[in-house]
Every structure is written in structure tokens, then in C-alpha cells.
């Protein structure tokens, strides 16, 4: 799966049938002067010819950047540079739309740890550590794992950080095969534990009602 931040979050709405032509701009993009009809020719200093080029350039942009530089072509072939302001954590990617796919299901809910809490636990400041906020009882019924609310998951299969990700469960969804086991690094009551957790393969096909009658 190719991860990329959503350009719509910074107000860039393309006229899809026309490729990289802007259909409308809102928010930061509009404030930067991006106009309907502009064709995006470069992003972050990289020439872009197709939608995938733009997404890749945006995804590879420096995570510490506060702006994104675009070069656009306007009517008459004139090229104009615009600088779009980026919101905090602009690179974070939401995968909620994949709920009915084959993501590995752990029946856990968690919240990313703030920087101060990571320091207290001596965890990597750039890591995706998160604190478990809820464990669905189905995890116990299915004997998937013994993770508890309040546990801090700081590693998945030995990995503690992945630059585009600030959430351990998001990393797990992207890197663990549904239905397989994974090894979680967990802090519980100040003690680091190595916990094996099973996952379930989420059904994604819609069930078709059985016709009634003869």
C-alpha cells in the first residue's frame, strides 16, 4: 500500500479528468494564491507530470517543513511559485476508510503518546508509541492477547518508529498480515514486556440475504 498525506487537507482539490489542474482551492492553498485552472508543474522542487508524481513528492517532503512550495502553470504558459502553509502533523495518514478491508484486527483502541510521556518512559521521541485506552472483550473471548487498558505499546515486531506514522496500531495495520501473530513491545507499570498478540482477519464481503419463498 502506498501511503501519502491527503492534499485536500491543505485545500488542493484537483479537476481529476484534467490531471493536475486545480478545480478549486480552499484553506491554506487558497490563502497561498492557488487558483482554479492552475496546473501543478512541480512540488517541493520536483517536477510532477501525473497525480502519482504529486502524491509521491508530497509524501517525501521534509517532515519538519512548515510550507510546501508549488510551481503552477497558468493561462498563457506563465509559471508562478506559491507557498502553501502546512498544518502540524500534516504527514499523518488516516486509514479509517479501510475498515472493511483485510486489515489485521486486534480489538484495541489506543492514543499516541505525547512527547512528555515518551520522555518519562524513556521511549524514542520519534517513535509511534501509544497508550491502550480500551480492549474489546472479544480479544479475550478469541484468546488473541493479554493486552490491558493502560499498557503502552512502543514496538511492533521490534520496530519502534516509522517516520510517517505516530500511532502504533496504524503501523500494525500497515505491516502485519491479517490473521497472523505479532510481537509487541509493551510497558506495563513501568516494566517492559514482550507480548505475543494474535490478530483476526476482518470479513469484508457483504452478505447477501437469502431469498425467501419456494
Query: In terms of domains, do 121 and 194 share one?
Result: yes
Q: What percent of the chain has pLDDT above 90?
A: 71
How confident is residue 116, by pLDDT bands cut at 50, 70 and 90?
very high
SS3 19: coil
H or E element: which one contains 169?
helix 168-175
Backbone angles phi, psi at 96, to 5 degrees: -55, -30
Cα-Cα end-to-end distance for the chain: 46
Mean pLDDT across the chain: 88
Query: In terms of domains, do 74 and 126 share one?
Result: no
**The pLDDT of residue 207:** 45
Report field, pTM of the whole predicted structure over 0.85: no
Least confident of 5-9, 38-42, 125-129, 210-214: 210-214
Average pLDDT of the segment spanning 116-134: 95
- Interval 134-154: pLDDT, tens: 999 999 999 999 999 999 999
- Please tell me the distance from the alpha carbon of residue 65 to that of residue 63, in angstroms, as a whole number: 6
Residue 208 lies in a domain: no
Whether residue 18 is predicted with pLDDT greater than 60 in this model: the reply is yes
3-state secondary structure 35-79: CCCCEEEEECCEECCCHHHHHHHHHCCCCCCCEEEEEEEECCCEE
Residue 2 lies in a domain: no
What is the number of structural domains in the chain? 2
- Interval 56-70: pLDDT, tens: 999 899 988 999 999
Whether residue 212 is predicted with pLDDT greater than 50 in this model: the reply is no
71 neighbors 81 (Cβ within 8 angstroms): yes
Query: In terms of domains, do 123 and 176 share one?
Result: yes
Residue 55 lies in a domain: yes
- Interval 93-114: pLDDT, tens: 765 555 445 778 899 999 999 9
**The pLDDT of residue 203:** 57
CATH number, domain with residue 23: 2.30.42.10
- Interval 75-97: pLDDT, tens: 888 999 999 999 988 887 765 55
- Please tell me the distance from the alpha carbon of residue 46 to that of residue 68, in angstroms, as a whole number: 11
What domain range is 53 assigned to? 7-85
**The pLDDT of residue 98:** 52
Residue 212 lies in a domain: no
**The pLDDT of residue 97:** 52
- Please tell me the distance from the alpha carbon of residue 158 to that of residue 154, in angstroms, as a whole number: 9
Task: Tell me the sheet residues that pair with 109.
Answer: 134
- Please tell me the distance from the alpha carbon of residue 65 to that of residue 53, in angstroms, as a whole number: 19
DSSP string, 125-162: TTS--EEEEEE-THHHHTT-----TT-EEEEETTB--B
Query: In terms of domains, do 76 and 120 share one?
Result: no
Query: In terms of domains, do 61 and 104 share one?
Result: no
- Interval 190-210: pLDDT, tens: 999 999 999 988 655 444 444
Amino acid at each position: 500500500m502506498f501511503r501519502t498525506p491527503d492534499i485536500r487537507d491543505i485545500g488542493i482539490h484537483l479537476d481529476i479528468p484534467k490531471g493536475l489542474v486545480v478545480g478549486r482551492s480552499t484553506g491554506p492553498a487558497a490563502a497561498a494564491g492557488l487558483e482554479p485552472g492552475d496546473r501543478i508543474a512541480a512540488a517541493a522542487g520536483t517536477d510532477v507530470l501525473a497525480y502519482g508524481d504529486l502524491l509521491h513528492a508530497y509524501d517525501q517532503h521534509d517532515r519538519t517543513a512548515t510550507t510546501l512550495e508549488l510551481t503552477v502553470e497558468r493561462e498563457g504558459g506563465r509559471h508562478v511559485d506559491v507557498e502553501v502553509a502546512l498544518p502540524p502533523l500534516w504527514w499523518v495518514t488516516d486509514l479509517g476508510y479501510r475498515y472493511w478491508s483485510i486489515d489485521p484486527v486486534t480489538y484495541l483502541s489506543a492514543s499516541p503518546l505525547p512527547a512528555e510521556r515518551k520522555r518519562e518512559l524513556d521511549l524514542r521521541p520519534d517513535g509511534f508509541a501509544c497508550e491502550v485506552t480500551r480492549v474489546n472483550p472479544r480479544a479475550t473471548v478469541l484468546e488473541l492477547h493479554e493486552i490491558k487498558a493502560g499498557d503502552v505499546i512502543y514496538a511492533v515486531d521490534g520496530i519502534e518508529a516509522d517516520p510517517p506514522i505516530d500511532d502504533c496500531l496504524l503501523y500494525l495495520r500497515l505491516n502485519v498480515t491479517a490473521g497472523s501473530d505479532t510481537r509487541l513491545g509493551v510497558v506495563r507499570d513501568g516494566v517492559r514486556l514482550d507480548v505475543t498478540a494474535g490478530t483476526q482477519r476482518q470479513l469484508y464481503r457483504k452478505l447477501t440475504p437469502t431469498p425467501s419463498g419456494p
